[in-house]
């Protein structure tokens, strides 16, 4: 019997669970391992990593490796009062064990589109191992047209999930949002070394909202939460945000924040109120944010620095694109200024826009690379279900019907017919863009060291103590390690590009002049160690080494459930 028949034979589940908040809930991300090719849609080129997947993937042992938790289900867990388990990055065995060990009334599976085959398998497992459970599927996978025919679920939830789950369990969906304590990254690794995980050393993730009102045609997050003109705010005001950040500062002992909001700076009133509160309370916080160029231009450099913005993810897309967010911006000049003020820039460029041809694409990539951002993401122009671009391509009959969803992630080949570039060439241009950025600009670790030093030199004697302290703190924490890494990079990068290697050497000397005694001495000891671990890592990567996130299980309200 196929799953369509299964779905038809089952009686429809009610819109509200009969047990209400007494229902036991399991929320799971899709199962791993991820960085391998398998029948469930895992792909070796699509690991569960942000930087190595789509930013630093050509940088070999210098690639930044780290994992991020599944924040959507953590947010839902924190905002329902039912007994709830979150299972993150399980193996199939972990998932099966949890389903049989506890009796769950509701099992929620969170997924993005590439992992739809895993959702199908997980639904099959739930029906078999926990037949009493209601199955809810949420996250971006819900945007696939006809997904209810692909997976055997009782409810498929499109858009924001906290309100939906609250409604389903009979709770007040408009109650204030409680923010979970989230450490932004884990198991960070670079140059063959895993960084120690000290409390407070890694930024806290803050989620002020989901969606983005700019509505760029390809943007899946904007489309999923309402499209152009819409988004869902969890924290409306700067005051609310300030309170959440104070809470996280206390719970996680952090003073830096990864702000998971597609366009944080667009909401100027909220950001400026947050700044007022930070100033009043003398908060010398650091913030990593996503923002479009038009939003960044609403602020002076000084305001950004005062806010503590130290890392900024900005869509550069293409110099000839017509996106409203880029109109009137000289993105190279903006990048240069940001970096001079100690703000690390992560650029994002699209390969395969409609106007791209084999004749102009190289120049466009060279233009992107000439921004010399600290990090650069390259992504294929990709019509993703749910977006205006997908609808347009469908209407024009240009979608390729034989592409597996597991390969629709923008890091492999086109999933549509491009007017001038073939599928195979799309991959070649994409791979070349990553390589060119690395070859010309060097490892991102070198570039972020350079931006930190620029900020330090500019702000070390600044009258506002909050700003001064922030740069001093970063310099104090990192200068010894960065100098040592530069020592090793200078040597290792010689074989890639002697010119960049010499630049790395110059920066190392500058660090030496600006650092304290310990940091000046450290490279003599730590440098050779890092060179050795870097070379060992190169060898292991060449032998096919991959990394997987750990499986994590967290329960909430569980004691009250009597388990
Ligand atoms: C962190 C992140 C990751 C992490 C992984 C986190 C994880 N544990 O899965 C990393 C960095 C590893 C990653 C990898 C990838 N990612 Co990613 N990622 C994100 C990012 C930046 C944040 C996600 C997040 O937490 N958002 C905030 C939370 C609150 O929102 P949310 O997850 O959408 O959850 C809400 C709803 O969707 C819903 N919901 C979610 N789950 C559930 C479950 C239930 C039961 C219910 C009822 C509701 C529900 O309720 C939540 C609260 O409102 C998003 C961009 C974004 N702004 O969302 C991209 C994003 C999710 N990633 C995306 C992609 C494409 C990828 C990659 C394929 C990378 C690539 N090549 O582009 C890989 C895939 C890796 C793999 N093998 O699976 C796309 C998904 C596109 C799509 N339509 O499917 C996004 C939207 C980015 C984008 N704009 O393209 N990613
Ligand atoms: S500005 Fe960025 S986040 Fe907003 S719609 Fe455009 S691509 Fe998406």
Give residue-wise pLDDT tens across range 390-426.
Answer: 999 999 999 999 999 999 999 999 999 999 999 999 9
Check whether 563 has a pLDDT greater than 70. Answer: no
Q: How far is the CA of 262 from the centre of ligand 2 (A)?
A: 7
List CB contacts of 270: < 8 A, sequence separation 6 or more.
Answer: 208, 235, 236, 237, 238, 241
Check if 154 has its Cβ closer than 6 Å to any atom of ligand 1. Answer: no
Residues 285 and 262: their CA atoms lie apart, in Å, by 20
Helices (H) and strands (E) in the chain, counts: 20, 17
Sign of CA dihedral 542, 408, 150, 20: positive
pLDDT of 561 strictly over 60: no
Residues composing the chain = 563
Question: What is the pLDDT confidence band of residue 325, given thresholds at 50, 70 and 90?
Answer: low
In sequence order, which residues have a C-beta less than 8 Å from that of residue 142 and are 6 or more positions away?
156, 157, 158, 159
Q: Which residues sit with their C-beta closer than 6 Å to ligand 2?
A: 212, 214-216, 219, 221-222, 262-263, 292, 315, 325
Span from the CA of 249 to the centroid of ligand 1 (angstroms): 25
Q: 260 CA distance to ligand 2 centroid (A)?
A: 13
Distance 546 CA to ligand 1 centre (A): 21
pLDDT at 478: 86
Is a pLDDT exceeding 90 seen at residue 263? no
290 in Cβ contact with 266 (< 8 Å): no
Evaluate whether 25 touches 105 at the Cβ level (below 8 Å). yes
Could you tell me if residue 135 is left (phi over 0), alpha (psi between -120 and 50 degrees) or otherwise beta?
Answer: beta
**What is the C-alpha separation between 255 and 287, in angstroms, rounded?**
9
- Distances 229 to 200, 212, 269 between C-alpha atoms, Å: 37, 8, 17
Query: What share of the chain in percent tops pLDDT 90?
Result: 86
Measured in whole angstroms, the distance separating CA 422 from the mean position of its chain's CA atoms is 29
Judge if the beta carbon of residue 260 lies within 6 A of ligand 1.
yes
Percent of residues, the chain, with pLDDT higher than 70: 96
- Taking the centre of ligand 1 as the mean of its atom positions, its distance from the CA of residue 112, in whole angstroms, is 6
Shortest-distance ligand to the CA of residue 218: 2
Give pLDDT, residue 9: 45
Dist. CA 232 → ligand 2 center (Å): 14
Burial of 500 (0-12, 13-18, 19+ CB in 10 A): buried
Atom 16, ligand 1: residue with shortest CA distance:
50
Given CA atoms 461, 255, 443, 292 in this order, what sign does their dihedral have?
Answer: negative
Q: Specify the pLDDT at position 14.
A: 65
Task: Compute the distance between CA of residue 563 and CA of residue 551 in angstroms, rounded to an integer.
Answer: 21
Which ligand is located closest to the Cα atom of residue 406?
1
Question: Is the pLDDT assigned to residue 487 strictly greater than 90?
Answer: yes
For 419, residues 6+ apart whose C-beta sits below 8 A from its C-beta are: 354
pLDDT for the residue 2: 37
- Distance CA(354)–CA(217), nearest Å, equals 12
CB of 220 shorter than 6 A to ligand 1: yes
């Amino acid at each position: 019997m196929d799953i369509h028949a299964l779905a038809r034979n089952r009686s429809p589940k009610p819109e509200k669970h009969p047990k209400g908040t007494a229902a036991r809930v399991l929320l799971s991300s899709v199962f791993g391992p991820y960085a391998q090719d398998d029948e469930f849609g895992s792909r070796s080129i699509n690991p569960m990593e942000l930087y190595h997947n789509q930013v630093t993937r050509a940088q070999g042992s210098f690639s930044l490796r780290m994992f991020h938790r599944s924040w959507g289900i953590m947010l839902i867990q924190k905002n329902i009062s039912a007994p709830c388990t979150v299972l993150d990055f399980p193996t199939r065995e972990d998932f099966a064990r949890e389903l049989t060990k506890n009796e769950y009334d509701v099992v929620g599976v969170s997924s993005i589109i590439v992992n739809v085959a895993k959702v199908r398998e997980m639904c099959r497992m739930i029906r078999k191992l926990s037949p009493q459970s209601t199955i809810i599927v949420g996250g971006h996978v819900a945007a696939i047209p006809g997904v209810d025919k692909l997976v055997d679920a009782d409810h498929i939830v499109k858009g924001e999930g906290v309100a939906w789950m609250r409604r389903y369990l009979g709770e007040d969906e408009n109650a204030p949002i409680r923010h979970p304590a989230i450490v932004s990254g884990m198991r960070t690794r670079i140059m063959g070394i895993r960084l120690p995980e000290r409390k407070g050393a890694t930024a806290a993730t803050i989620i002020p909202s989901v969606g983005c009102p700019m509505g760029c045609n390809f943007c899946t997050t904007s489309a999923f939460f309402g499209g152009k003109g819409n988004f869902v705010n969890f924290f409306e005001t700067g005051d609310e945000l300030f309170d959440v950040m104070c809470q996280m500062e206390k719970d996680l002992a952090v003073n830096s924040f990864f702000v998971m909001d597609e366009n944080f700076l667009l909401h100027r009133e909220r950001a400026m109120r947050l700044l007022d509160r930070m100033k009043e309370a003398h908060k010398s916080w650091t913030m990593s944010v996503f923002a479009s160029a038009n939003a960044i231009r609403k602020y002076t450099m000084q305001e950004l620095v005062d806010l503590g913005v130290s890392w900024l993810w900005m869509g550069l897309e293409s110099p000839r694109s017509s996106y409203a967010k880029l109109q009137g911006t000289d993105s190279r000049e903006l990048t240069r200024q940001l970096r001079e003020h100690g703000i690390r820039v992560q650029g994002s460029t699209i390969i395969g826009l409609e106007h791209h041809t084999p004749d102009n694409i190289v120049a466009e990539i060279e233009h992107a690379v000439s921004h010399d951002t600290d990090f650069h993401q390259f992504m294929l122009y990709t019509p993703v279900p749910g977006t205006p671009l997908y609808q347009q391509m469908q209407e024009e009959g240009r979608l390729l019907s034989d592409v597996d969803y597991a390969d629709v992630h923008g890091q492999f080949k086109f999933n549509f017919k491009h007017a001038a570039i073939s599928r195979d060439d799309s991959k070649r241009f994409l791979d070349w863009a990553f390589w060119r950025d690395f070859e010309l600009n060097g490892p991102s670790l070198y570039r972020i060291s350079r931006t930190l030093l620029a900020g330090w030199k500019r702000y070390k004697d600044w009258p506002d103590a909050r700003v001064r302290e922030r740069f001093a703190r970063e310099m104090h924490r990192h200068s010894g390690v960065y100098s040592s890494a530069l020592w090793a990079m200078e040597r290792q990068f010689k074989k890639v590009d002697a010119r960049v290697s010499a630049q790395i050497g110059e920066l190392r000397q500058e660090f030496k002049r600006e650092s304290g005694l310990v940091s000046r001495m450290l490279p003599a000891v730590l440098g050779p160690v890092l060179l050795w671990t870097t070379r060992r890592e190169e060898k292991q990567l060449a032998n096919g080494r991959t990394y997987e996130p750990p499986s994590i299980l967290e329960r909430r309200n569980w004691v009250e459930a009597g388990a």
